[in-house]
Amino acid sequence: MSSLNGHHKRQPVSEDVLRREDFTEERIEEIRRSAIIPDGFEILDQATREASRRTALAEVSEGQGVWVFGYGSLMWNPAFHFIDRIPGAIHGWHRSFCLSAPVGRGSVEQPGLMLGLDRGGSCRGFAFLIEPDKVQSETRILWRREMISGGYVPRWVSVRTNDGPVRALTFTANRDHPRYVGRLPLEAAVQALAMAEGPLGRARDYLYNTVVHLDELGVGDGALHHLLDLVETFRQDA
């Protein structure tokens, strides 16, 4: 069976490192104190993260559910509980490997790259619905996952779906953050994604799983497919 881009159908790479039960304040404190955190890598304290979460949720009425738009690892491992998942697209933002990752799926010696939403273009992904009674608990999990270092900015976006538009929370790249690298030269991005590895796994598996879910969305021949081909070729030639 072939995917839309003519390659054999890809299967997701299993990643069991990030689990729901890991997203606790105690675990974040352990990470903050661990030797793997490089100098200058800021981990936001609980009060800062909670203030950010409350600000983002200020416009959510009591008894109202919350949609979350996922475009990277949230697509295959959201960790939070949800009651619906639907494909959709946003405009004015595009998916980009624009954040350096000296921890997680990289190291100080060989930083990886993480996806963020950067300005311009459009992006297809999945919208997840958190039911009203679980908005508080599940968004706390979400903030501990996405806002650990401040590399993202929580933002409300309009997601176009087959059932009409939904308003959703998503996490855009923080252009003022030290980890923001913008659009790297292609050769540098390929090398980083091909070689970087850290406690959460390999950067190339993160790219691979993203492409698998783009295939699911019907995006069968995009920029990340080309990037994955280059990464796989780099690995073969290394």
Q: Is 30 a catalytic site residue? A: no
Q: Cα separations (Å) of 235 from 155, 190, 195, 214? A: 36, 10, 8, 22
| Domains of the chain in sequence order | 20-237 (3.10.490.10)
Helix H, strand E, coil C: the string for 22-87 is HCCHHHHHHHHHCCCCCCCCCCCCHHHHHHHHHHHHHHCCCCCCEEEEECCHHHCCCCCCCCEEEE
Q: From CA 18, how far away is CA 236, in angstroms rounded?
A: 28
Which one is catalytic: 25, 42, 146, 216? Answer: 146
Q: Can you list the residues of the chain whose pLDDT is less than 50? A: 1-7
pTM for the predicted model, two decimal places = 0.90
Amino acid at 36: I
pLDDT for 5: 40
SS3 content of the chain, % helix, strand, coil (to 5): 35, 30, 35
- The total number of residues shown for the chain amounts to 238
Q: Nearest 10 degrees: CA dihedral of 119, 120, 121, 122?
A: 30
pLDDT for 19: 82
